[in-house]
Structure formats: structure tokens, C-alpha cells
Amino acid sequence: QMNAASDEVEPNWLPSIRSLADVKSTITRYRLIGARHVLSTDEASMAELDRLLAETSETLDRNFAKYAALISSEDERKLWTTFREEWREYVALQDEALVASRKNENEAAARIFADTAKLSADALAILDRDIALNDEAAAAATRLVESEYQSARRLVMVVSGVALLVAASAIGFVLLGVTGPLHGLNEAMAHVSKGRLDTVIPSVERRNEIGDMARTLVVFRDGLAEADRMRRSQADREADAARHQ
């Protein structure tokens, strides 16, 4: 889910918001050029403003196409369709004002252009709702990313804790299950090698390599004890024979 949410924020919601902001900015510029045209009486100035209007209209068309390609929900599509209808009405009315302006009918042009104010405000309000929709979607996706990140972080901490516990258990096993018994066998072997043949051999009950070593040591100890017993018995017989000579 985190990857899916991240994929929505960066390539979809944020570009949509930026694209709509570009649309709003270009619309404002288009309307300002129209207002200057309506107030102008100089033919050269009007020609330059006509050029700027055509250039800005082309930019708007590109911005419209760019945003339309980013629409990903039915709510976005409905808002965009409504905006485009409002905008077509605005352009048609502004064109009427521009026709009057080119004829130097400035009073009529100004009156018609004034009537475009509501259409412009309505169109921009729809864009604001569209921006808010995309912004909320981006915020929701960001919250989901943050939530998934925190969940993943907690999971990593749990897994790390389990790993540490397993490692500690392994160390404990080595210390208690291997090192300790080996130390006991070494001590027992040292005692046996010094002739303490009554030494108790630890770990003989283990069914592993430690147990095998312990049982081998038992056999070695018992062998030494038997050899010592036989040596003493032979010595006793020799002593007894010597007394009877």
C-alpha cells in the first residue's frame, strides 16, 4: 500500500495540482490582456494585444491537454467538464467585447467585458475546487505513506528485536550448552590425569558430541582405575609371596 500511495502522490496528484495552478495563472493573464485590449484605442497596441491573446490561448490549450491527461477520478472529470463549459462561455463573451474594441466601440466593449466577470469567477471557483480535491487526495495518500512507513518501522523494530533474541539465545546455547560442558570435561580430564580416578565425569547423559567425549573419558577413567586395581592386586600377591618364603 505504501508503494501504491507513493506512486499516486508523485506522478498523479502533485502534477495535477501544478498543472491546475498553471491553468489558473494563464487564465488570469488571458483576462488581463483582454481588459487591456478593451481599454485600448491605439491600433498598433491592439494588434500586439491580439498577438498576445493568440499566444496565451495556445498556452491554455496546452495546459488544458496536460491536465486532462492526468485526470484519474470521476469527480475530477466532472469538475473539469464543468469548468470547460464555463470557460467556453467566458471566451465567447470576451470575444464579443474584443470585436467591439477593434471597432473602437470602447463603451460597448467595456460593458460586455464587465459581464464576463461572473463567468470568470465561476470558472476559477471550479478550478479551486478541483485543486482542493487533488490536494486532499495527495494529503490522504501522504498520510497513508506515513502510516505505512510507521508500521514498517515498527515491524523492523520487532524483527530486529526477535533477531537479537535469537542471537542471544544462540550465544546462551553456546555458553551453556557447549562452553560450560567442555569446561567441565576439561576439569574432569585434569583430575583423572592426576590419578583421581573417582572423579565424576559430567555430561555423559548428553546425546551429542559432548556426551560422546564424556563417555569416552569415562571409559578412559575406568580403564585407568582397573589397571590401577590390577597393579595393586599384583603387588599385594607379590608381597604375600615374599612373606611366605
Q: What is the pLDDT of residues 186-224, one digit of tens each?
A: 787 777 777 787 888 888 887 776 777 778 777 777 877
Q: Is 98 exposed, middle or buried (0-12, 13-18, 19+ CB in 10 A)?
A: buried
Q: CA separation (Å) from 86 to 2, 83, 179?
A: 38, 5, 84
The set of cell numbers assigned to 197 is 580416578
Predicted structure pTM score: 0.52
Asked if the model's pLDDT at residue 172 lies above 70, the reply is: no
* Amino acid at site 24: K
Asked if the model's pLDDT at residue 161 lies above 70, the reply is: no
Q: What is the pLDDT of residues 55-110, one digit of tens each?
A: 999 999 999 999 888 887 888 899 999 999 999 999 999 999 999 999 988 888 88
Task: Output the pLDDT for position 94.
Answer: 93
The set of cell numbers assigned to 39 is 481599454
* Amino acid at site 125: A
